[in-house]
Amino acid sequence: MLAYIARRLGYILIMLVLVSFVSFLIIELPPGDYLTQKLQELQARGDRSAEMRIAEYRARYGLDKPLLERYWIWSTHFIKGDFGDSFEFERPVTEIIGQRAGMSAILAISTITLTWLLAIPIGVYSATHQYSIGDQITTIVTFIGLGMPGFLLALIVLFFAMTVLGQEVGGLFSREFQDAPWSFAKVVDLLKHLWIPAFIGAVTGTASLIRIMRGNLLDTLGQPFVEAARARGLKERTVIWKHAVRVAINPLIVILGSEALPQIIAGNALVATVLNLPTLGPVYVRALQVQDMYLAGTVLVFIVGMTMIGNLLADLTLAALDPRIRLE
């Protein structure tokens, strides 16, 4: 068991080194960089000292050095927890991530909780009442949900909120609470804003979960052990939840593990961008748009790392829950 975890962690480490290098390469790939863009911008504005300032930047950030050396500097600093500076925000990447990670986590956790609280009971209902009207409605709704990408739904919600409710949607706080210290009123205000992105995430997330849960449970309900449990005199509810659902839900654990953790970092970047949320997603998008390489690279490495750790946790949980699975 411990050997297995150690092996997996070692594997993750190797992957992270590779991933960080590839990420660095990808972000480095386009000709020119943030500073050349900045230079053009400054020159266009007629800034005479532009070139000098940019050159100074270049030296400070080590951008005049060759690629491999820069990667080496970045990665060695990375291990120490120094992820470099963001050009766009002109602040250390650590600070930006630290500032937004909390909100990202709150949003991700509430979205995931909402998604699972909705999806599992609906999926179970749909499978146990196969072909009933409720099941058919669920099927149609999940069908639409599957085809509905979050960012388009966000646009639609934005439109309706504006025209029907006459309300500004976006952000996680009203203006007056933006910089206010935490208080009860601020939490209430947060909840008022939070439900929209959480709802959007849940709508797009539940659809596939419901489909998977329904399919798995239908397969399980056809298994002899369900009938055997019923023949033992158990209540139908016990038969379904203690025996059928307990077995059918295992594969979903993997989905939870591989999606939940990375979602905390980049949790639906597109939806967050539409709704202008103070989470990490929009920062990543912005960083890619302007080639803010250290910021983008760090976030990408974090996403991949979280995905792999999430997968490991999912495998461990699954092994704990399902005696048939042996770790090797």
Partner 1 sequence: MSEPLIEVKDLKVQFNVRDGIIHAVDGATFTINRGQTLGIIGESGCGKSVTAKAILRMVPRPGKVTGGEILYHRRIKSNGSEITDIVNITELDPDGEEIRKIRGGEIGMIFQEPMSSLTPVYTAGSHIGEAVGLHRLVPIRKVGAQMVETIQAHRRISKQEAREIAIDMLRRVGIPKPEQRVDAYPHQLSGGQRQRVMIAIALSCEPKMLIADEPTTALDVSIEAQILDIMRELQETVDMAIMFITHNLGVVAEMAEEICVMYMGKIVERASAVEIFYEPQHPYTRALLKSIPHVGKKSRERLASIKGMVPDPFNLPSGCVFHPRCPEYMPGKCDRIVPSWTQVGENHWARCLLYEGV
Partner 2 sequence: MAEQKVPETNKKRQISQSYWSLVWWKFKKNKLAIVGGILIILFYSICGLFAEFFAPYTLDYQSDYLEARPQPVVFKDEEGNFSLRPAVYGLEEKIDQTLRKRFYEVNRTKIYPIYFFVKAEPYKLLGFIPTDIHLFGTDPADPEAHVFLFGTDRLGRDLFSRIIYGGRLSLLIGLLGQILTFTLGMVMGAISGYYGGVTDVIVQRMTEFVGAFPDIPLFMALAAAIPVTWSPILVYFMLTLILVFIRWGGLARQVRGLILSLREREYVLAARSFGASDARLMFRHLLPGTLSHCIVIATLMIPGMILSETALSWLGLGLRPPLTSWGVLLQEVSSVRSIRFAPWLLTTVPFVLLAVLSFNMLGDGLRDAMDPYGGR
> Footprint of partner 2 on this chain (CB under 8 A)?
15, 18-19, 23, 26-27, 29-31, 130, 143-144, 146-149, 151-152, 155-156, 158-159, 162-163, 168, 170, 215, 218, 262, 266, 269-270, 273-274, 284-285, 288-289, 291, 296, 299-300, 303-304, 307-308
CB of 218 to partner 1, least distance (A): 12
Among partner 2, partner 1, none, the one that 300 touches (CB under a kind-dependent 5 to 8 A) is partner 2
Among partner 1, partner 2, none, the one that 134 touches (CB under a kind-dependent 5 to 8 A) is none
d(CA 201, CA 213): 18
Return the residue of 72, 225, 276, 289 that touches partner 1, per CB under 8 A.
225
Q: Which amino acid is at 161?
A: A
Place of tokens 């959480």: 198
Report yes or no: 107 and 279 within 8 Å, Cβ to Cβ. Answer: yes
Question: Phi and psi (nearest 5°) for 308?
Answer: -70, -40
Residue 180 binds partner 1, judged by CB under 8 A: no
CB of 136 to partner 1, least distance (A): 15
Residue 7 binds partner 1, judged by CB under 8 A: no
CB of 156 to partner 2, least distance (A): 6
Among partner 2, partner 1, none, the one that 64 touches (CB under a kind-dependent 5 to 8 A) is none
Place of tokens 């990543």: 284
d(CA 9, CA 2): 10
Report yes or no: 151 and 273 within 8 Å, Cβ to Cβ. Answer: yes
Residue 231 binds partner 1, judged by CB under 8 A: yes
Among partner 2, partner 1, none, the one that 29 touches (CB under a kind-dependent 5 to 8 A) is partner 2
CB of 205 to partner 1, least distance (A): 26
Among partner 1, partner 2, none, the one that 269 touches (CB under a kind-dependent 5 to 8 A) is partner 2
**Which is closer to partner 1, CB of 129 or CB of 192?**
129
DSSP per residue over 98-147, as a string? HHHHHHHHHHHHHHHHHHHHHHHHHHHHHHHTTTSHHHHHHHHHHHHHHH
CB of 93 to partner 2, least distance (A): 16
Return the residue of 247, 274, 287, 304 that touches partner 1, per CB under 8 A.
247
CB of 135 to partner 1, least distance (A): 13
How would you label 151-174 residue by residue, b for 16+ Cβ within 10 Å and e otherwise? bebbeebbeeeeeeeeeebbebbe
Task: Give 171-178 contacts, CB < 8 A, sequence gap 24+.
Answer: 171/275, 171/276, 171/277, 171/278, 172/103, 172/107, 172/197, 172/277, 172/278, 173/278
Residues 6+ apart with CB under 8 A from 212: 123, 251, 252, 255
Which residues of the chain form contacts with partner 1 (CB under 8 A)? 223-225, 227-236, 243, 246-247, 250, 321-324
